[in-house]
Amino acid sequence: MINFLGNIMGSILRYVYTFVSSVLPSEPSYISYYAIAIIITSIIFKLILLPISLKQINSSRRMTELQPLIKEIQTKYKSDPKTMQVKMQELYKEHQYNPASGCLVLIIQMPIIFAFFAVFRDPATYAFTDPGMYESMAKNFFWISNLDLSDPYLWGLPLLAGLTTYVQSITMMSANPNADPSTQSTQKIMNIMLPFIIFISARGFAAGLALYWVISNIFSIIQQLIVNRSVKKAGGQKK
């Protein structure tokens, strides 16, 4: 599955690279065609996943809205698990909510994300398969001489990867201000741990993979801010 999807994602990267190199009259000295292709392909990838991402966001928001009713049922029928389960199912049916939808969306996304990681770990296998093509390409990106190697500076892409992961987590958390306190507590811990893990990991990543991660996060942050604003506006209109 990963190899199949990786070949598809690799074909997209190859096509974008070919397009960029044909449109630009000459390759900029500070940013290679390959770096530009990674940025554009990352955005295309996020656009492909946009309907799935929006469905996941909506599922999370619906779950938060139902939390008060869920807690009420849990408190009322805590000594009668069978009745509690029946009432929970009735609640979900009444509000047309599938509690498994969020997990299903995540399961759909994961193979695609892993495939994209595979492409950026080994572009010569999945994207640039012509003998010698990948080896002969320029791969510089501003201060990075070769995107195949890790970023030489801690303040570069590793720090940006960690910071954008943190900002993305915060914007997602702000979308559910009425979430269960235990959920919020867990989320706050993850908001600290995950960016740190990403920062440490990105120090060993190929810089091309770290660049993809940063661009992907920036897209997600903008997407979440737009969704948050739309939800807030819709809520204000209802009042």
Residue boundaries of the structural domains of the chain: 2-238
Q: Where are the alpha helices (DSSP H) in 95-206?
A: 101-121, 123-126, 133-136, 157-174, 181-202
| Distance set, CA 124 to CA 40, 204, 212 (Å) | 18, 19, 17
Contact 29, 138 (CB under 8 A): no
125, two tokens = 């296998």
Give the span between the Cα atoms of 10 and 177, in whole angstroms.
39
Residues 6+ away with beta carbon under 8 Å from 195: 162, 163, 165, 166, 169
pLDDT reported for residue 221: 93
pLDDT reported for residue 236: 56
Burial of 125 (0-12, 13-18, 19+ CB in 10 A): middle
Tens digit of pLDDT at every position of the chain (239 positions): 778 888 998 999 999 999 999 999 899 999 999 999 999 999 998 898 888 888 777 777 777 778 888 889 988 888 888 998 899 889 888 887 777 665 666 677 778 778 878 888 889 999 999 989 999 999 999 999 999 999 999 889 999 999 999 999 888 877 666 666 666 777 788 888 999 999 999 999 889 999 999 999 999 999 989 888 887 776 555 55
Contact 13, 38 (CB under 8 A): yes
Task: Give tens-digit pLDDT for 67-81.
Answer: 888 889 988 888 888
| Distance set, CA 88 to CA 66, 214, 234 (Å) | 10, 40, 27
